[in-house]
Amino acid sequence: MSVARLHCGARLRSRLNALLIVFIGLLAFNGNALAGSMTLAWNGVTGASGYRVHYGTASRGYTQTLDAKANTTATVSGLTDGTKYYFAVRAYAGSVTSGYSQEVSGTVGAPTDPSDLASTGVSASGVNLVWRDNSGNESGFHIERRIGMGAWSQIASVGANVITFASTGLMSSTNYEYRVRAYNPSGTSAYSNTVVVGTTAPLAPSTLAASVASTSRIDLLWRDNSNNETGFHIERQIGTGTWSQIATVGPNVTGFASTGLKSLTTYGYRVRAYNGIGVSAYSNVVSAKTR
């Protein structure tokens, strides 16, 4: 090679590397993928005749190369689902090759299913849903619902990393069931757990029973007959006096210890369930006398 050719090659390499600063800053994994593939996009470099995509399963440990020729996008296929890959691009012009671009990475495959779906803030016409996002590669989440035991239907989609949704326009006195799953271009995850929401006041608890535990404590037990309560209100009376609410417990709780009582005193108890719609009827009333 002549001295002039060497100088020409050095200038071209310098120009490519300098222009690659812009190229580096704009290289991105765009998230468009089919199963077993990933698509990359980048801005072109003046003076380059082509680009090579280098990739592998270790950072800066590239084991394979794809020649994208003069294109500024490339789809790398034959990848293994569930595996994280690292990518970098080099521009070339003849025998002159630039340095590596900024490295990007992505995991191939459908996202992991969300979990811990729960309902909050139930009202007569709406409910707020919240769930745990267990994936780092979802495009978003599909929310599905059914009425009673009817067919499931998708009612909404939300974006990546969103973990809440407000379902509105519900009918009164109706039970709704919800589930959520993540999605990306590679596919969809399994469904989350389901949650049942009723736009009715809960059913009354039943078979309330009281047992004297000590001179100052009476234990209560009851049957929970509802699946849509926010919790239970416990009320008490002394002798034949007025009723007053003494405590509130959460959903699915079926027991309560009434403490701080006076000895040799008769207490009456009753319990009712509640949610954002309203309160249930009262349970049966029980009485017990401390020792």
Q: Assess whether pLDDT exceeds 50 at residue 59.
A: yes
Q: From CA 138, how far away is CA 123, in angstroms rounded?
A: 30
pLDDT given for residue 75 in this prediction: 86
Q: Assess whether pLDDT exceeds 60 at residue 32.
A: no
Give per-residue pLDDT as tens, 178-206: 999 999 877 788 899 999 887 888 899 99
Half-sphere exposure for 55 (CA within 13 Å, toward CB): 26
Q: Assess whether pLDDT exceeds 90 at residue 39.
A: no
pLDDT given for residue 129 in this prediction: 97
CATH class of the 115-198 domain in this structure: mainly beta
**Between 137 and 238, residue with greater pLDDT:** 238
Give per-residue pLDDT as tens, 116-129: 999 987 777 789 99
Confidence band, pLDDT 50/70/90 cuts, at residue 18: very low
pLDDT given for residue 35 in this prediction: 52
pLDDT given for residue 188 in this prediction: 87
Q: From CA 185, how far away is CA 110, in angstroms rounded?
A: 8
Q: From CA 248, how far away is CA 275, in angstroms rounded?
A: 12
Q: Assess whether pLDDT exceeds 50 at residue 231.
A: yes
pLDDT given for residue 6 in this prediction: 33
Backbone angles phi, psi at 19, to 5 degrees: -70, -20
CATH of domain 3-107: 2.60.40.10
Q: Assess whether pLDDT exceeds 90 at residue 245.
A: yes
**Between 51 and 80, residue with greater pLDDT:** 51
Q: Name, in order, each residue with C-beta under 8 angstroms of 39's C-beta and a sequence gap of 6 or more.
A: 30, 32, 33, 73, 74, 75, 76
Q: Assess whether pLDDT exceeds 50 at residue 33.
A: no
Q: Assess whether pLDDT exceeds 50 at residue 88.
A: yes
Q: Assess whether pLDDT exceeds 70 at residue 70.
A: yes
For 64, 74, 96, 102, 159, the CA distances from 60, given in Å and listed in that order, are: 12, 19, 21, 10, 31
For 35, 49, 136, 271, the CA distances from 75, given in Å and listed in that order, are: 12, 19, 21, 63
pLDDT given for residue 108 in this prediction: 76
Alpha helices in the chain (DSSP H): 3-26
Q: Which H/E stretch holds residue 10?
A: helix 3-26
**Between 18 and 109, residue with greater pLDDT:** 109
Backbone angles phi, psi at 22, to 5 degrees: -65, -45
Give per-residue pLDDT as tens, 127-177: 999 999 988 888 999 999 999 999 999 999 999 999 999 999 988 888 899
First to last CA, the chain: 108
Model pTM score: 0.49
Q: Which part of the chain has CATH 2.60.40.10?
A: 3-107, 115-198, 206-289
- Which residue has 């009354």 as its token pair? 204
Check: CB of residue 111 under 8 Å from CB of residue 135: yes
Check: CB of residue 116 under 8 Å from CB of residue 132: yes
What superfamily would CATH give domain 206-289?
Immunoglobulins (2.60.40.10)
